[in-house]
Amino acid sequence: MFDMKKILHCLCVASIMLSAACVNTVTRGHLQEDETISNIKAGTTTRAEVAKQLGSPSSESSFGNRTWYYISMVKQSRAVWNQKVTEEHTLEIAFDTNDVVSSVKEYTLTDGKQIELVKRTTPSEGQQLGFFEQIFANLGRFNKKDDATSNNHGRGTPSPTGYPGR
């Protein structure tokens, strides 16, 4: 007959091979080019030269000295498991007031820090209504037909905006 251990072994090997075959790699952002990055020198390269060599940045600083960020990330997903970031590269290029490169810094995945998100919620002010209270709260709040503020949906007096029912 069949040996149960061999069948289980074959099933395990087959499932591992299937999950390894279902790898999806996604690359996003600016592709890292070491040769081009090595041409950027602090104190000599201008902002226009950086834009010509690397293109537009992924992000720019909002305040302080003008700083450009070129960001790339490679994510892999296997079958049903969550995506995992396998590579991350950030190039930070800062410019002085004359638009000349003042510093070039590179960051990788190992330079990143894991930030744990807070799962608390901030309570809102006011009354907390339950499901049925929300449903029945509108009963009796409908406008009467003779009321001047009622919504005529285009019948009767035109609205001041010229649109029916507004």
pLDDT at position 166 is 46
Q: What is the 3-state secondary structure (H, E, C) of the chain?
A: CCCHHHHHHHHHHHHHHHHHHCEEEEEEECCCCHHHHHCCCCCCCEHHHHHHHHCCCCEECCCCCCEEEEEEEEEEEECCCCCEEEEEEEEEEEECCCCEEEEEEEEEHHHCCCCCCCCCCCCCCCCCCCHHHHHHCCCCCCCCCCCCCCCCCCCCCCCCCCCCCC
Q: Which two tokens stand for residue 93?
A: 């290029």
CA triple 35-40-44, angle to 5 deg? 150
1-35 residue pLDDT tens: 567 788 888 787 877 766 666 667 676 766 666 77
- Report the amino acid identity of residue 88: E
| More confident call, 88 vs 164 | 88
What's the gap between Cα 59 and its chain centre?
13
Tell me the C-alpha distance between 43 and 103, whole Å.
8
Q: Is the whole-model pTM more than 0.75?
A: no
Q: How far is CA 44 from CA 24, 35, 47, 58, 143, in A?
A: 41, 17, 10, 22, 73
133-145 residue pLDDT tens: 777 777 766 666 6
71-119 residue pLDDT tens: 888 888 776 677 787 788 888 999 998 999 999 998 888 887 888 888 8
